[in-house]
Structure 1
Amino acid sequence: MSAIRTETTAKIVAWPRGKMIAYWTFTILLVISITMSGIGQLMRYGGNVDLVTHIGFPLYVTNILGSWKLLGVIAIIVPGFPRLKEWAYAGIFFLMTGAALSHAFANDYGDYGFNFILPLFYAALNIASWALRPKSRKLS
């Protein structure tokens, strides 16, 4: 039992402090952003209805996307389950790049490209969080 604790402690100590801070910064920004987006879609709050219907998707898509986003955030935050985390990161990446491309193909860039740039920003946060995650959150 003490060997396991020592090994776990060694992993934590061996992980550079700057990388840890960067990981948690990107992850917290990602989690807050995706959570707020998911809740907004589930509640159909603000411009979420217009964002979806303007590009030709049915309104019920907000229920699906909002649920997936919240489940993905839970999978990323909860300790353990590294395979589930991989799927959550992949799912969020596909959701965000799919949103950007859907708006681009519908010529719905929004003000100053907001409808295209924001999902790509979330995808970038997702990639940063995934790339910086500690060994304990990776598949072995």
Structure 2
Amino acid sequence: MATYTLEEKDGLSKSRPIGRTAAYWIVTAVLAFSIALSGIGQLMRYGGNVDLVTAIGFPLYITNILGTWKLLGIIAILIPGFPRLKEWAYSGIFFLMTGASLSHMFAHDYGDGGFNVILPLLYAALAVASWALRPKSRKL
């Protein structure tokens, strides 16, 4: 596996597999883009966001809460430092996405081909993958 040098100190170098780092940033970028786009759509009440929440019995104001938390969570994951905040953000996204999937299941609102259930679970899986792949500098 290819590695790259992080730093050299006293003639010794630390290295990390480049594949793992690349995988982390690819998964995290897809997660960040997807969740941010979803959060912005909810805040703007764009497209099917209104129908998605009202069809399962939630009040429309929930889009403001969910959209705000999604954007704040992604910011927390992307900014350097604050490892404890990152842990909370990852868990928040995981619970938000699994909760969305279960809410649609319990309301029998599966969408075309189970889209309303499967997509949030995919986002939850991306959050778990990003969390598992994160470098030491982003861990507690």
Normalising to structure 2: TM-score of the pair? 0.91
Give the aligned partner of residue 61 of structure 1.
62
CA distances 1:35-85 after superposition (whole Å, capped 9, x unpaired): 000000000000000000000000000000000000000000000000000
Considering only aligned residues, what root-mean-square deviation do their CA atoms show, in Å?
1.8
Question: Which residue identity is paired with 1:28?
Answer: A
Tell whether 2:132 aligns with 1:131: yes
Runs of 4+ deviating beyond 2 Å: 4-7
Give the aligned partner of residue 74 of structure 1.
75
Normalising to structure 1: TM-score of the pair? 0.91
User: How many percent identity over aligned positions?
Assistant: 73
Higher relative contact order, structure no. (Cα contacts within 8 Å, ≥ 6 residues apart): 1
| Aligned counterparts of 1:26 and 1:57: Cα–Cα separation in 2 | 30
Question: Which residue identity is paired with 1:104?
Answer: M
Matches within 5 A, 1:17-96: 17-96=18-97
Unpaired segments ≥5 residues, structure 1: none
Unpaired segments ≥5 residues, structure 2: 1-6
Q: How many residues align?
A: 133
Structure 2 counterpart SS, 1:59: coil
1:52–1:128 distance in 2 versus 1, CA, 3 Å: same
1:6–1:44 distance in 2 versus 1, CA, 3 Å: farther
Q: Which has the higher helix share?
A: 1
Query: Alpha-carbon deviation of 1:27?
Result: 0.2
